[in-house]
Amino acid sequence: MAGSVLSVSGLRKCYGDIVAVDSIDFEIESGEIFALLGPNGAGKTTCVEILEGYRSRDGGEVSVLGHDPASGGRDGVNWRDRVGMVLQDSSDGLDLSVEETVKHFTSYYSKPRDVDELIEAVGLTEKRRARVHKLSGGQRRRLDVALSLAGSPELLFLDEPTTGFDPEARRAFWDLIQSLRTSGTTVLLTTHYLDEAEALADRVGVIARGKLLEIAPPATLGGREHAKATVSWRDKFGGLKVEITENPSDLLRVLLAKHEGDVPALSVKRPTLEDIYLQMIGETP
């Protein structure tokens, strides 16, 4: 990490009497992948659109790569040259080919990436001559990612980037995002997929009803690492035994001694990230 590239303090946004973003604070460090989690209507997309400069704010301070996204002028042009964005929906250049679209977008930037390299990186080499409107949803999303990387961005915004992906396409996308980490790109990701956040993010922030509830690494969010474990096994009669304990290691030692070897159907589970997330946003079944 080499210092903060994004800082938010007291950010607030209202729509009439509805408070969409309620005085939230957070920072993102250079080279970090940060995931913003929350249910529909929680305020996460509004927050990201403010950071991207697409939406105004009603209060608070915002710095993105040392620039206020709400300000314009020459500084704003230079700032956009350093930022990449994958929006929830896009419909540009549907009659162009993949190659033509990528070439067009790289022409906007002072430090364009190689067109062939971009197309290969997102797994669209075999579709480079295909018209954009002929691509599947997953392929179009990969193209969106290629376009967001066209200017070698220092900071990349990904708003629900894998919506509509099949499992194979999602895994390929994860590999691409993880490769960006090694090149030093900072990523702000919003997602509904908890496994995606756990696989990619260094830290996650949970937002609900416009408030930022907690920021932590996925493994420790909501005290997850200290939560009680559920241990299950089968006894000598084949019956299923279940015990919830704060000290699973002690219980396992007892079970191993009692069974003099392998414990049948042994399972040790702590709450998943999804379990903790649902508790935090008040949607526990």
Number of independent structural domains in the chain: 2
Looking at the structure, do residues 257 and 127 belong to the same domain, yes or no? no
- Considering the domain boundaries, does residue 285 fall inside one? no
Looking at the structure, do residues 239 and 131 belong to the same domain, yes or no? no
**Could you give phi then psi for residue 249, rounded to 5 degrees?**
-60, -40
**What stretch of H or E contains 155?**
strand 155-159
Q: pLDDT value at position 183?
A: 81
| Alpha carbon 19 to chain centroid, angstroms | 23
Looking at the structure, do residues 34 and 154 belong to the same domain, yes or no? yes
At residue 8, does pLDDT exceed 60? yes
Interval 219-223 mean pLDDT: 89
Interval 121-132 mean pLDDT: 90
The domain of 238 spans 228-269
Angle at 57 between CA 51 and CA 60, to 5 degrees: 85
Can you give the CATH number for the domain in which 194 is found? 3.40.50.300
- Considering the domain boundaries, does residue 282 fall inside one? no
Looking at the structure, do residues 123 and 239 belong to the same domain, yes or no? no
**What stretch of H or E contains 74?**
helix 73-80
Angle at 185 between CA 104 and CA 132, to 5 degrees: 30
Looking at the structure, do residues 235 and 106 belong to the same domain, yes or no? no
The type of residue at 19 is: V
Helix (H/G/I), strand (E/B), else coil: 144: helix
Looking at the structure, do residues 77 and 147 belong to the same domain, yes or no? yes
Alpha helices per DSSP H over 84-227: 98-106, 115-121, 137-148, 167-182, 194-200
At residue 1, does pLDDT exceed 50? no
**What stretch of H or E contains 12?**
strand 4-15
Q: pLDDT value at position 58?
A: 94
**What stretch of H or E contains 250?**
helix 248-259
Looking at the structure, do residues 132 and 237 belong to the same domain, yes or no? no
Q: pLDDT value at position 175?
A: 86
Q: Record the pTM.
A: 0.83
pLDDT tens digits along 29-74: 999 999 999 988 888 889 999 999 889 999 999 999 999 998 865 6
Structure-block tokens of residue 143: 């193209």
How many angstroms separate the CA atoms of 154 and 201, rounded?
Answer: 17
Looking at the structure, do residues 138 and 237 belong to the same domain, yes or no? no
- Considering the domain boundaries, does residue 280 fall inside one? no
Q: How many CB atoms lie within 10 A of CB 40?
A: 7
- Considering the domain boundaries, does residue 64 fall inside one? yes
Looking at the structure, do residues 67 and 182 belong to the same domain, yes or no? yes
How many angstroms separate the CA atoms of 80 and 69, rounded?
Answer: 9
- Considering the domain boundaries, does residue 137 fall inside one? yes
Across all residues in the chain, what is the average pLDDT?
87
Q: pLDDT value at position 90?
A: 60
